[in-house]
Each structure stands twice: as structure tokens, then as C-alpha cells.
Amino acid sequence: MKAIVCNSYGPTSKLQLREVEKPTPKSNEVLIKVHFSAVNDYDWSMVRGEPKLYRLLFGLFKPKHPIPGMELSGVIESCGDEVTKFKVGDAVYGDISAHGFGSFAEYVAIHENAIVRKPEYLPFEEATALSHAANLAWQGLVDFGKIEKDMNVLINGAGGGVGSIGLQIAKTYNCQVTGVDTGDKLKAMKETGFDYIIDYKKEDFTRSGNKYDLILDAKTTRAPKAYQKMLNPNGKYVTVGGKIGRLLQIALAQHVMKKPVYIVPLDANKDLEQIHVLYESGKIKPLIDGPFSLEKTGEAIQYFGEGKHHGKVIVSIK
């Protein structure tokens, strides 16, 4: 099969499309013919081995998983003997990162618990775009943030995957939503319905004097105290990711700050049923950038890493 292979850390330009052996599923695994994959922060870090601390996770000297990619949609081609949830021909999708990587390839063999059934009304491309970001946005806003009707919400790092779906989830609660990002993304953010937009390169959003009931952060660019000052008396701060140093500060602050501070540990695919309901009723639709061809995955990862993308960067593998 064809796959993007990353045998050593380095620039995305080193990524090559190669012919590798098609995987054989173990007893609890399914073999998926991949239709689409998507680019994530993990790919950008895993391919370059940066920040270096991440090598503890991805492999000290070279990537443990030579094929990157953590989201997919596709069709089951074969099943191991002990698989009970799926059968050959089922359309599936998911964020496979809790069980492995390798979705920039024509086939993936992965544990049956790594994926969910794809409803017929949800196209493959959109399912891929929703699997990680929508789940994370839901867990940030609903599970941890306990979002309520008419709240004043701010999303930092709002132009990417989590922000674009986070906005739509918040709008189902009739919230007023401010998005922080920069560059070309600001125009797309205005068009997709953010009520207020802040360009982080021109304005320090923590000093605007505005107060929020809920802050959802996809970047964690500021110190915990700065976020506390932006919260209403019952406000909450929830982060889904960012630089390790800032996340450590947030983890320590959790115990001393007056207003609640949460770091969301992703529970992959847990809330996709809720996302299906919102999608089917027309309340959410992923913002898709691409698709890039499998051959151009390196370019897609570079484009993502340079922050040029809008929403989810998709790779087509059909």
C-alpha cells in the first residue's frame, strides 16, 4: 500500500510517499481502507520531533510510529476473529490516537475501540474533520465548561479546528462568542459567525477589560492570572492545549486560583454521538481546508504548522 513514511525527525519536506506492506489486523483489530485523514498538532510535532520534550512520547531518537496521522474515515475491509462491533463494509471514522497512529496511508489496522460507526448522512470528509476537534470542543465547552444559555464566551486560538466547531456548539446555546486569532483567518471567522474578533498580533485580549463567563483556550498563550482577571465572578477557564510551559502553569494554578481552571484530557471519540445529533439537525458543519492529496501530506502539515489553515486540513486518500 502507499503511505507517508517518517523514519527520522526533520523538516516536513523530508516526508515521502512510499510503498509499504499492507497491515494485517490482529484478533481485536479491523483493517480500514482509508478515505480521508486530517492534519493535527500531533503530526506537526511528531514529524519534526519538536518540541524536543515530545520525543519522550513519540520516540527518543526516531518516531516510534513511522506513519503519522491520527484521524481517519473509511470502510472496513476485514476484521480480526474477536471483533464484535463491526463487520466488513461498515463505514467508520474516528480519532485513533488513543490506540495508535498511521492514518496517512491507504490502509490502517487498528483496535475496534479506536473508531465509531459513521452515520450515512455524514460524508466521509466531514466525519474526518469532526472526529478530533469537535469531540475536544464538546468536552471543553460542555463537559468541563458547563456552558449555559446566553453566556459570554471567548475562544483563544479560534481559527482552527477546535475554534471553528466550538463557535457552532456555543451558538446552539445562544452564546455571544469572541474569537482570538490572526491573519487571513479573521475574515473566515467573521463569516462563520463570531460576534467579536480580536487579532492577537494587534491587541492584548487579556487587557480589553471585557469579562467572560467561559474561556475556551486552544493555545494557552497567557499566564493563569491574566485569564482570571477576564472572568466574571462565576466564570470558568478551560484549556484543551498549548505550550507545555503554559500548561504546567495552568496545572499548578488549578489549586490556588479562585475561579475554576481546567485542563481537558482528551477522551477520544467519547462525545461523537452528541456531535451526530448537532450535525444532523444542521447546527454544526466543519470548516474544511483542502483536501490535499496523500502525496502532498508533507505540504499539508507544513501549511498547518505555519498557521495558514482555516478549520481542518484534510488529506484525501481514495
Ligand X SMILES: NC(=O)c1ccc[n+]([C@@H]2O[C@H](COP(=O)([O-])OP(=O)(O)OC[C@H]3O[C@@H](n4cnc5c(N)ncnc54)[C@H](OP(=O)(O)O)[C@@H]3O)[C@@H](O)[C@H]2O)c1
Report the Cα 131 to chain-centroid distance in Å: 8
- Which x/- pattern over 75-114 shows residues binding ligand X (rule: CB under 6 A)? ----------------------------------------
- Based on C-alpha coordinates, what's the Rg of the chain? 19
Strand 212-217 and strand 231-239: pairing?
parallel
Of 300, 132, 285, the C-alpha closest to 218 is 132
Closest distance to ligand X from the beta carbon of 1 (Å): 26
CB of 83 or CB of 134, closer to ligand X = 134
Candidate list 159, 179, 291, 298; residue touching ligand X; CB under 6 A: 159
Amino acid residing at 78: S
Amino acid residing at 151: M
CB of 76 or CB of 300, closer to ligand X = 300
Residue position matching grid coordinates 447546527: 283
Candidate list 23, 102, 145, 161; residue touching ligand X; CB under 6 A: 161
The answer to whether 264 contacts ligand X (rule: CB under 6 A) is yes
Binding range to ligand X, per CB under 6 A, among 4-12, 47-55, 122-130, 178-186: 178-186
Candidate list 63, 241, 290, 298; residue touching ligand X; CB under 6 A: 241
Residues in the interface with ligand X (CB under 6 A) total 26
**Dihedral sign, CA of 296, 299, 304, 310?**
negative
The answer to whether the bond into 68 is cis (omega within 30° of 0) is: no
Closest distance to ligand X from the beta carbon of 303 (Å): 10
Task: Specify whether the CB–CB gap between 222 and 206 falls below 8 A.
Answer: yes
Strand 152-156 and strand 176-181: pairing?
parallel
Distance (Å, whole) CA 17 – CA 297: 9
Task: Specify whether the CB–CB gap between 59 and 67 falls below 8 A.
Answer: no
The answer to whether 157 contacts ligand X (rule: CB under 6 A) is yes
The answer to whether 266 contacts ligand X (rule: CB under 6 A) is yes
Return the residues of window 191-220 that contact ligand X according to CB under 6 A: 200, 218-219
Closest distance to ligand X from the beta carbon of 109 (Å): 22
Closest distance to ligand X from the beta carbon of 220 (Å): 7
Return the residues of window 13-72 that contact ligand X according to CB under 6 A: 41
Query: Terminus-to-terminus CA distance in the chain, angstroms?
Result: 12
Binding site for ligand X (CB under 6 A): 41, 133, 136, 156-157, 159-163, 180-183, 185, 200, 218-219, 221, 240-242, 264-266, 307
